[in-house]
Structure 1
């Protein structure tokens, strides 16, 4: 049985794409070891395959990446394996070096255009470092895949690579509502689930909630600007915005179906967001929740093809509020039921396994 070491920089619990990949490979006959890191708020993890969390002294910035890559390199060096699976650019260097030193096969999963994340817009030196690393390694890779066609086309054109596409669809699930964490008071629920970072349109949505008194805006997740958003809510005395923090995928699966509308309002802050195809869109669809999304190519394609919601027409609080009011009166159930059967991980597994078996 071939052993695959899968590496990420997160704490393993909330990365649904990596969990699905590992399960598919495990069920496909591979021996899996998933490696990440320990954080202060890391939740317990139990999988069908072994996991390893590296403890670090530094947890952000250059020192974090340097320490994690250093520790990961030596962990990979002295651990038995046949194949290395690197997730995103921040784990690629140690995996690449080990693959060359020990002549092991390397597979690369690019979840996004890493150097194009909004957090690097005002950090040209840091961005240049990541771009240089990408330019050095990517043209040398033979086995790589990513989350959407736009990113695959970008890399293929820029580095003459051959990226395949494994879309981050969820598993087909039966919609089951769990206990909602607070009294809805017969108000409509507008849901955001995911990272609370720059460029997600959350500030716009909070401003919009002042014009939607018959709705709650529920934010599930954690990130760089959650404190800033809470301060915004407090300063404007907005009482219909609720923060639930980071939840396990299992808990979230039972909360999402309570929503009347799911949002994905990413801003066009560079190519990474322009080509975004967020997991939450498909999670909303699996929960049979209609969506309102940004006018960006990948996510727009889902709405246009499957008719499961609407594209934002105007990014002002007044216009967005009016569009949401109208949208909440429409029925998308038939389209959602059709889309949830088509946009599932089970349709991606065969392509994924072929990459590793070849």
Structure 2
């Protein structure tokens, strides 16, 4: 039985992609250790495999990344392993160094184009540090996968390094439907779930809600601009049309998503990371049988064009978007949704994942 150490910089509780991958590998007779960090008020974990969470002195900024990478390096150095799995660029350096020092196999899972995230756009010095790590390591990697074809093509073109695509689609399952903590009678529910960060189209939706009388906008999640968006909502809209539920657990989210009538993914084109994104929530809406409205960006457009379980936003003007939403609310997508669910599920996607691990290159 091969020993695999999988490392992330999060606290392990909400990373559903990594959880699915760990479950799949564990069920295919790999011995798994998942390493992350410990935060205050962490939710206790109950997994079939081993988990290790490191409590840090620093939890953001340069000092966090420096401390985490140093501590991760020494932890990886002394744990028993055959394969090291790095999730995203912020764990790659210690994994790569240990793989070289101890002649171990390394696998890289890129969840996004880390050097192109909006948070680095106006921080050229910080961006340059991450780019230098990427440029020195990625051309030397032999076992890589990522979340979309566009990101895979980007790495192929830039570094001549092959990446497989493992989409972050849900497992097929039946979920228990919950109840929203507010009155939804006679209303069409528009749902956003995910990080409340810049460039997610939330401000656009708030402007759009001014032109929609029979709709409610629900936001599940938290992030860098959570308070800013809440303040804007209170200034623009006063008649209980927007609700912020904050950060919920995956089971809580799964119980509420099917209650929506429309799921949105309105990311802005703020650099290549957003342009090439294939957001998890798109597939979460699909599996909850909620039709989606998405940005006109390559990966999302490709999915909707192929599987037809939603529409692409025609115009980001709030009045025109409101009109599109009103028309979209009247359409039925049940047949397309049921058909897409049969293809876009983890049971299909994990077959490619297993093949990668069964055919790793030294």
- What TM-score results when the alignment is normalised by the length of structure 2? 0.97
* Contact residue 145 and residue 165 of structure 1 kept, 8 A: yes
Q: Between 244-253 and 327-336, report the one with greater CA deviation.
A: 244-253
Q: Secondary structure at the match of 1:348?
A: helix
* Contact residue 210 and residue 237 of structure 2 kept, 8 A: no
Structure-2 separation of matches of 1:333 and 1:174: 17
Q: Post-superposition shift, 1:58?
A: 1.1
Q: Secondary structure at the match of 2:106?
A: strand
> 1:56-205 maps to which residues of 2 (within 5 A)?
56-174=56-174, 176-205=176-205
Structure-1 separation of matches of 2:186 and 2:12: 36
1:282 is matched with which residue?
A: 283
1:340 is matched with which residue?
A: 341
Q: Does 1:16 align with 2:16?
A: yes
* Contact residue 168 and residue 279 of structure 1 kept, 8 A: yes
Structure-2 separation of matches of 1:42 and 1:230: 25
1:259 is matched with which residue?
A: 260
Q: Post-superposition shift, 1:41?
A: 4.2
Structure-2 separation of matches of 1:181 and 1:110: 37
Q: Post-superposition shift, 1:40?
A: 2.6
Structure-2 separation of matches of 1:261 and 1:11: 30
Q: Between 41-50 and 241-250, report the one with greater CA deviation.
A: 41-50
Q: Post-superposition shift, 1:180?
A: 2.6
Structure-2 separation of matches of 1:40 and 1:245: 17
- What TM-score results when the alignment is normalised by the length of structure 1? 0.98
Q: Post-superposition shift, 1:259?
A: 0.4
1:273-297 deviation line (CA, Å, top 9, x unaligned): 0000000000100011000000001
Q: Secondary structure at the match of 1:342?
A: coil
Structure 1 residues 280 and 23: CA distance shift in structure 2, 3 A = same
* Contact residue 175 and residue 288 of structure 1 kept, 8 A: no
2:209 is matched with which residue?
A: 209
Structure-1 separation of matches of 2:188 and 2:176: 18
1:189-239 deviation line (CA, Å, top 9, x unaligned): 110111111100011011111212321111111111101111111222443
2:31 is matched with which residue?
A: 31
Q: Secondary structure at the match of 1:170?
A: coil
Structure 1 residues 134 and 67: CA distance shift in structure 2, 3 A = same
Gapped runs of 5+ residues in structure 1? none
Q: Post-superposition shift, 1:246?
A: 1.1
Counting matched residue pairs gives: 358
Structure-1 separation of matches of 2:283 and 2:237: 32
Q: Secondary structure at the match of 1:198?
A: coil
Q: Secondary structure at the match of 2:342?
A: helix
RMSD: 1.1
Q: Post-superposition shift, 1:104?
A: 1.0
2:51 is matched with which residue?
A: 51
> 1:2-13 maps to which residues of 2 (within 5 A)?
2-13=2-13
1:108-155 deviation line (CA, Å, top 9, x unaligned): 000110000011111111111111110000011111111111111110
1:307 is matched with which residue?
A: 308
1:58-100 deviation line (CA, Å, top 9, x unaligned): 1111111111111111111111111111000000000001101
2:246 is matched with which residue?
A: 245
Structure 1 residues 175 and 306: CA distance shift in structure 2, 3 A = farther
Structure-2 separation of matches of 1:224 and 1:124: 20
Gapped runs of 5+ residues in structure 2? none
* Contact residue 6 and residue 84 of structure 1 kept, 8 A: yes
Structure-2 separation of matches of 1:237 and 1:260: 21
Q: Secondary structure at the match of 2:273?
A: helix
Structure-2 separation of matches of 1:182 and 1:31: 45
